Structure 1
């Protein structure tokens, strides 16, 4: 491979803001695996956000790149799985598997698509120093002949339309919008863009915690919600705390640590058969099989209000943010019925 921009490249990032800024360009925020594609003839590399190649996991995308992209190019975008008319991040996560036979089977059952939103190189030309507006024009031109599963992201300069996208596209599984200054160069690993994401709150039961990797302080709180049958499901974690706050939380939780694991709603986490059909706090991490996901149980009597952006199936898609304790709430009242559901929107309409 001999390109003007060579792998690995760390992608340009976005900083969170509350309102959509008027910078001349807004596009949907795709919920998938951020990927930079490098193509030089038949040589194709799919680079991840952490600069590790993901090429072996998506053979069908490698074939699509060879069919639909220019012979020599470097594109920034997102790998996604589309199920029906929604993005399906859970199915996308399943595509990362060590067994080649499993990789090939999943490539047929849950094929991925690629949504492109930036162009770093074309032919023998390095475009990273050019303003984004110019790169966008070149990207539109380069992808004009392309067809599914390769897509060009939609974009608008109209703030009113961008706000409408923010409200409606969530129904197709997207989680916000990205605003990009038109005059900016491509800046790897720099937060030179702006992201606006949905934020909601929920009252959750705190049923356990994990230790911090640095020592005997709290690492994360394990959150649960009850379904209609009265089963407490593990729905995610709250984990962004200062070191001082981690120590304080450990003291606050101490009165709830005396618990009989046999009577705890997640007491069967060590039994691998118990993981079938639902995600539990002791499950092995798909990304790091050596990561210690064991947890310290707590009596499920505390209620915590958290902020979250959106759900992926029956779990929080990202780490939830601690807001406040809710001593006025009964844990049994913390169910899925409190969660806001976005109106359904057709993903094909988002893709255009």
Structure 2
């Protein structure tokens, strides 16, 4: 492979912004795997944000790139998977990263990926990274004129009012917010040179346990969060009918300073209980069944290690989160404060703000304005 921009490339990043800035080009913020795609004839390489190869996990995309991308190019974009509901399915995307080649082939058919392109780093013999973004976007649009699904060009607007509507409307398809780019900005690898505006919501959750920090005992790694199944939907979906109305695991709160991890360890010690007395005693059955089946998992399959320190579910905490996917927070939540004024039984799904559903196909086709 001989291209004007060679792998690996650390993609340009974004810094958080509270509001949509003026005077920018605006795109949806896709929540998938960031990917820089290199094509030189039949040679295709897909690099991750961490500059590791994703190529072997997405044979369906490799075939599409060979068929529809220019013969020599370098593109920046996002790999996503569409779920059964018509929106993004990040869990299904995570499953695509599997160590077994046979499983990779099966998942490529069962959960085909899409690539959403949003920048052009090189085309033919030309390195476009020094060019301003508005020029790179024009090159990208021309290069993808003949491209078909699963290759897509991300929507773009320069109208802040349209961007504000996108911020609300696109969330129903599982998108994460907005990216704002200076139209005169060159491509700056590994620099937080763009702005991202994300959805932020709060929820009151039950503290159900914790995981020990990877550094060892005496430190909290993450707090395990639960919500009560007030509508019984989780019990019906999972088949755990005896858990109707029970406490559903919805994710974790993490990212504590080291000193706070030590404080939490001492603070929560009186709440430690046995798993047999815990609402999640069924976890032991899941672990036993998993061990007996010998079933493996993906590289990012958090369910591979279900061990945790169970706590009496007596305390409530408020967390900040961005998006609820199914019954769980898509990303780790952030601890906001303890809520001694709330009863654990009152912490259910009814409190959550749900976006209006939208189809990913409508977003990609520009039918949502």
What TM-score does the superposition give when structure 1 sets the normalisation length? 0.93
Greater mean alpha carbon deviation, residues 262-271 or residues 342-351: 262-271
Q: 2:324 aligns with which of 306, 311, 316?
A: 311
What's the offset of the Cα at 1:128?
1.1
Which of 250, 268, 292 aligns to 1:235? It is 250
In structure 2, the residue corresponding to 1:301 is in which secondary structure? coil
Return 127-136 or 261-270, whichever deviates more. 261-270
Query: How far did residue 288 of structure 1 move?
Result: 7.2
The 5 Å alignment of 1:200-219 reads 200-215=201-216, 216-219=218-221
SS at match of 1:18: coil
Aligned pairs for 1:28-43 (under 5 A) are 28-43=28-43
The unaligned stretches of length 5 or more in structure 1 are: 277-282
Question: For each residue in 1:145-183, what CA deviation from the matched residue of structure 2 results, as whole angstroms up to 9, or x when unmatched?
Answer: 111110000000000000000011111111101001111
Tell me if the contact between 1:306 and 1:321 (Cα under 8 Å) persists in the aligned partners.
yes
- Equivalent residues of 2:98, 2:298 under 8 A apart: no
Distance in 2, matches of 1:275 and 1:196, equals: 42
* Residue 279 (structure 2) aligns with: 265
Quote how far apart the aligned CAs of 1:290 are. Answer: 12
**Greater helix content:** 2
Q: Tell me how large the CA RMSD over aligned residues is.
A: 2.0
Give the aligned partner of residue 245 of structure 1.
Answer: 260
Matched with 2:222 is: 220
Is 2:357 the counterpart of 1:344?
Answer: yes
Q: Where in structure 2 are the equivalents of 1:148-227 lying within 5 Å?
A: 148-215=149-216, 216-227=218-229
Contact 2:179 2:197 in 1 (8 A): yes
Normalising by structure 2, report the TM-score: 0.89
Conserved? CA contact 2:94–2:301, under 8 Å: no
Number of residue equivalences:
345
SS of 1:167 mapped into structure 2: helix
Tell me the distance in 2 between the aligned counterparts of 1:293 and 1:247: 22
**Secondary structure, counterpart of 1:244 in structure 2:** helix
**Whole-angstrom CA distance in 1 between matches of 2:114 and 2:305:** 32
Structure 2: gaps spanning 5 or more residues: 231-243, 291-295
Matched, 1:298 2:311: yes
Displacement after TM superposition at 1:251 (Å): 2.4
- 1:213–1:198: structure 2 CA closer, same or farther, 3 Å change rule? same
Residues 97 and 298 in structure 2, CA contact (< 8 A), matched pair in contact too: no
**CA–CA distance in structure 1, aligned partners of residues 170 and 302 of structure 2:** 34
